[in-house]
Structure 1
Amino acid sequence: MQIEFGWSLDGTAWADGAGATGTVRMGPRGLVQLLQTRLALTRPSVDPAVRTAQYARAIAAADHEWARASFDVDPWSTASTMLSWRDAAVTAGATLRRAPGLPARIDALCAIEQEADIAPGAADDLREIIDLLAELAVSPWPLGIEQVLCHEEPATLPGLWPQLLELLAGAGVEVRPAGEMPAGRPELVLLEADDEWTAAETAARFLAGRDGDPVHVLATEDTILLDQELHRRGVAAIGVAGASADRTSLQILPLYLSIAIAPVDVQQLGAFLDLRVLDAPESDREPIGLVPSRVRRRFLDALAAEPGTGGPAWEAVLSELAADPEEVAALEIARAVSALVTHPLDPEQLTPPRLRVATAWLGERLHALGQGDPGLVRASAHLQTVLAVLDTLGDDHLLGARELSQIVEASAGRAASPVARPEATDAWTACTRPAQLRPRGGDVLWWGADRQDPQTGVTWDAVEIAALEGLGGRLVEPAALAALETDAGLRGLLGTGRLIVVRTRGRAEKATAPHSLLAHLAAERAAPGEDVAKVLEQFRVDPRTAVGDGVWELAGSRRLLSVPALVGPAEPAQDLTKRTGPAPHLVPTALSYSQAENLLGCRQKWTYRTGLGIRPASVASVPSGNQMIGTLVHTVVEELVNTRREQGGAPSAEEISTMLERLVPQLASELLLPGREVELTTMRETAVRSLVEFFGRLAEAGLVITSVESRFEEPLTLHLERGDLEVPFLGYRDVLADDAAGKPTVIDLKWTSAAKKYPELFDAGEALQLASYAWSLHDDSADVGYFLLKQGEFVSANPALDPHGRPTLDIAGAWSRTVGGITEALDAIGEGTVTAQSGQILRDAGQGLGTPRTEAKKTYAAAQEEARAGGGIVVDARCDYCDFSLLCGLRGDAS
Structure 2
Amino acid sequence: MRIEFGWSLDGAAWADGGGARGAARMGPRALVQLLQNRLGLTRPPVEQAVRVAEYSRALAAAAPAWVRDSAAADPWATTAALLRWRDAAVEAGARLVPRDGLPERIAALCAIEARHSAARPGAADDLRELVDVLEQEVTWPLGLEVLVCHEPPEELPGLWPRLLSLLERAGVRREPAEAAGGRSPALLLVEAEDEWAAAETAARFLAGRDGAPLQVLAGADTVLLDQELHRRGLPALGVAAPAAHRTALQILPLFLSVALAPVDVQQLAALLDLRVLDAPEGGREHVGLVPARARARLLDALAQEPGIGGAHWRRALAAIAADKGMAAGGREFVAALAALVAAPIPPEALTPPRVREATDALGARLRALGQGAPELTRASQHLQVLREVLDTLEDSRVLGTRELAQMVEAAGGRAASPFARPEASAAWRTCSRPAQLLPRGGDVLWWGADRDDAATGVVWDAAEAEALTALGARILPPARLAALATDAGLRGLHGAERLVVVRTRRRAEEAVAPHALLAHLAAARAEPGQGVAEVLAAHTLAPERTLGEDGFDLAGSRRPLEVPPRARPRPLPRDLTRRVKPAPHLVPARLSYSQAEDLLGCRQKWTYKNGLQIRPASIAQVPTGNRMIGTLVHAVVEALAQREDRTGPPGAQRVREEIDAQVPRLASELLLPGREVELAGMREQAVRSLVEFFDRLAAAGLVITAVESRFEEALTLPLRRGEVTVPFVGFRDVDAEDADGRPVVIDLKWTFAAKKYPDLFETGEALQLAAYARPLHDRHVDVGYYLLAQGEFVAANPALDPHGRPTLDVVDLWRRGVDGMTAALDAIGDGEVDARSGQILRDAGQDLATPRTAAKTTYERAREAARAEGALVVDARCDYCEFSLLCGMRGDAS
Task: Name the TM tier (shorter chain).
Answer: over 0.9
Aligned to 1:668: 667
Q: Distance in 2 between matches of 1:70 and 1:205?
A: 54
Which amino acid is the alignment partner of residue 135 of structure 2?
A
Aligned to 1:132: 133
Q: What RMSD in Å do the two structures reach over aligned CA positions?
A: 1.4
Q: 1:536 to 1:320 in 2, by over 3 A?
A: closer
Aligned to 1:544: 544
Aligned to 2:447: 447
Give SS of 1:643's match: coil
Select between 824-833 and 427-436 the one with higher mean Cα deviation.
Answer: 824-833
- Is 1:275–2:271 an aligned residue pair? no
Q: 1:529 to 1:874 in 2, by over 3 A?
A: closer
Give SS of 1:9's match: coil
The structural deviation recorded for 1:20 is 6.4
Give SS of 2:258's match: helix
- Is 1:767–2:780 an aligned residue pair? no
Which amino acid is the alignment partner of residue 126 of structure 1?
L
Aligned to 1:801: 800
Which amino acid is the alignment partner of residue 746 of structure 1?
V
* Number of equivalences: 892
Contact 2:578/2:834, CA 8 A, preserved across alignment: yes
Contact 2:333/2:362, CA 8 A, preserved across alignment: no
The structural deviation recorded for 1:284 is 4.4
Q: 1:689 to 1:480 in 2, by over 3 A?
A: same
Contact 2:456/2:482, CA 8 A, preserved across alignment: no
Instruction: Please list the CA deviations of residues 87-121 of structure 1 after superposition, one character each: whole Å capped at 9, or x if unmatched.
Output: 11101100000111111111111110001132111
Contact 1:733/1:746, CA 8 A, preserved across alignment: yes
The structural deviation recorded for 1:19 is 7.1
Which amino acid is the alignment partner of residue 240 of structure 2?
A
Q: Distance in 1 between matches of 2:659 and 2:19?
A: 76
Q: Distance in 2 between matches of 1:334 and 1:400?
A: 27
Q: Distance in 2 between matches of 1:335 and 1:518?
A: 59
Which amino acid is the alignment partner of residue 62 of structure 2?
A
- Is 1:892–2:894 an aligned residue pair? no
Q: 1:328 to 1:234 in 2, by over 3 A?
A: closer
Q: 1:324 to 1:188 in 2, by over 3 A?
A: closer
The structural deviation recorded for 1:337 is 2.0
The structural deviation recorded for 1:580 is 1.4
The structural deviation recorded for 1:551 is 2.0
How does 1:741-780 map onto structure 2 within 5 Å?
741-780=740-779
Aligned to 1:790: 789
Q: Distance in 2 between matches of 1:19 and 1:52?
A: 36
Aligned to 1:872: 871
Aligned to 1:720: 719
The structural deviation recorded for 1:823 is 1.3
The structural deviation recorded for 1:148 is 0.5
The structural deviation recorded for 1:571 is 2.1
How does 1:62-141 map onto structure 2 within 5 Å?
62-116=62-116, 117-135=118-136, 137=137, 140-141=139-140
Q: Distance in 1 between matches of 2:891 and 2:107?
A: 64
Contact 1:214/1:426, CA 8 A, preserved across alignment: no
- Is 1:419–2:419 an aligned residue pair? yes
Contact 1:227/1:237, CA 8 A, preserved across alignment: yes
Q: Distance in 2 between matches of 1:584 and 1:688?
A: 50
Q: Distance in 2 between matches of 1:236 and 1:583?
A: 48
Give SS of 2:711's match: strand
The structural deviation recorded for 1:324 is 3.8
TM-score for both structures, normalised by structure 2: 0.98
Contact 1:7/1:488, CA 8 A, preserved across alignment: yes
Instruction: Please list the CA deviations of residues 634-678 of structure 1 after superposition, one character each: whole Å capped at 9, or x if unmatched.
Output: 11111112223x644222211111111111011011111112111
Instruction: Please list the CA deviations of residues 683-724 of structure 1 after superposition, one character each: whole Å capped at 9, or x if unmatched.
Output: 111111111111111111111111111111111111111111
Contact 1:322/1:328, CA 8 A, preserved across alignment: no
Instruction: Please list the CA deviations of residues 572-615 of structure 1 after superposition, one character each: whole Å capped at 9, or x if unmatched.
Output: 21111111122111111111111111111111111111111111
The structural deviation recorded for 1:331 is 3.5
The structural deviation recorded for 1:541 is 2.8
Q: Distance in 1 between matches of 2:19 and 2:267?
A: 53
Q: Distance in 2 between matches of 1:797 and 1:525?
A: 86
Aligned to 1:220: 219
How does 1:519-558 map onto structure 2 within 5 Å?
519-558=519-558
- Is 1:600–2:576 an aligned residue pair? no
Contact 2:575/2:839, CA 8 A, preserved across alignment: yes
Aligned to 2:880: 881
Aligned to 1:654: 653
Aligned to 1:686: 685
Aligned to 2:578: 578
The structural deviation recorded for 1:283 is 4.3
Q: Distance in 1 between matches of 2:711 and 2:327?
A: 36
How does 1:377-526 map onto structure 2 within 5 Å?
377-526=377-526
Give SS of 2:12's match: coil
Q: 1:713 to 1:143 in 2, by over 3 A?
A: same
Contact 2:333/2:365, CA 8 A, preserved across alignment: no
Q: Distance in 2 between matches of 1:766 and 1:544?
A: 59
Which amino acid is the alignment partner of residue 191 of structure 1?
V
Q: Distance in 2 between matches of 1:287 and 1:746?
A: 46
Contact 1:250/1:382, CA 8 A, preserved across alignment: yes
Which amino acid is the alignment partner of residue 126 of structure 2?
D
How does 1:306-385 map onto structure 2 within 5 Å?
306-327=305-326, 329=328, 330-385=330-385
Which amino acid is the alignment partner of residue 3 of structure 1?
I
The structural deviation recorded for 1:405 is 0.9
Which amino acid is the alignment partner of residue 592 of structure 1?
S
Q: Distance in 2 between matches of 1:217 and 1:326?
A: 54
Contact 1:763/1:807, CA 8 A, preserved across alignment: yes
Contact 2:550/2:560, CA 8 A, preserved across alignment: yes
Aligned to 2:143: 144
Which amino acid is the alignment partner of residue 248 of structure 1?
T
Q: Distance in 2 between matches of 1:375 and 1:847?
A: 48
Instruction: Please list the CA deviations of residues 531-565 of structure 1 after superposition, one character each: whole Å capped at 9, or x if unmatched.
Output: 33323333223332221213212222111112234
Q: Distance in 2 between matches of 1:427 and 1:126?
A: 39
The structural deviation recorded for 1:454 is 4.4
The structural deviation recorded for 1:366 is 0.9
Where structure 2 has 5 or more consecutive residues not aligned to the other structure, the ranges are none
Instruction: Please list the CA deviations of residues 398-443 of structure 1 after superposition, one character each: whole Å capped at 9, or x if unmatched.
Output: 1001101111111110111112310001000011111111212111
- Is 1:202–2:201 an aligned residue pair? yes
Give SS of 1:774's match: helix
Contact 1:750/1:787, CA 8 A, preserved across alignment: yes
Instruction: Please list the CA deviations of residues 122-164 of structure 1 after superposition, one character each: whole Å capped at 9, or x if unmatched.
Output: 11000001111111x1x52210000101111111111111111
Q: Distance in 2 between matches of 1:538 and 1:770?
A: 74
Contact 1:431/1:437, CA 8 A, preserved across alignment: yes
Q: Distance in 1 between matches of 2:84 and 2:514?
A: 31
Contact 1:356/1:387, CA 8 A, preserved across alignment: yes
Contact 1:182/1:439, CA 8 A, preserved across alignment: no
Give SS of 2:217's match: strand
Give SS of 1:418's match: coil
Q: Distance in 1 between matches of 2:287 and 2:628?
A: 29
Aligned to 2:627: 627
Contact 1:184/1:495, CA 8 A, preserved across alignment: no
Contact 1:652/1:692, CA 8 A, preserved across alignment: yes
Which amino acid is the alignment partner of residue 134 of structure 1?
E
Q: 1:592 to 1:531 in 2, by over 3 A?
A: closer
- Is 1:6–2:30 an aligned residue pair? no
Q: Distance in 2 between matches of 1:880 and 1:632?
A: 25
Aligned to 2:49: 49
Select between 668-677 and 29-38 the one with higher mean Cα deviation.
Answer: 668-677
Contact 2:571/2:893, CA 8 A, preserved across alignment: yes
Q: Distance in 1 between matches of 2:125 and 2:713?
A: 81
Q: Distance in 2 between matches of 1:566 and 1:753?
A: 47
The structural deviation recorded for 1:299 is 0.6
Which amino acid is the alignment partner of residue 721 of structure 1?
R
Contact 1:306/1:666, CA 8 A, preserved across alignment: yes
Q: Distance in 1 between matches of 2:582 and 2:160?
A: 83
Aligned to 2:638: 638
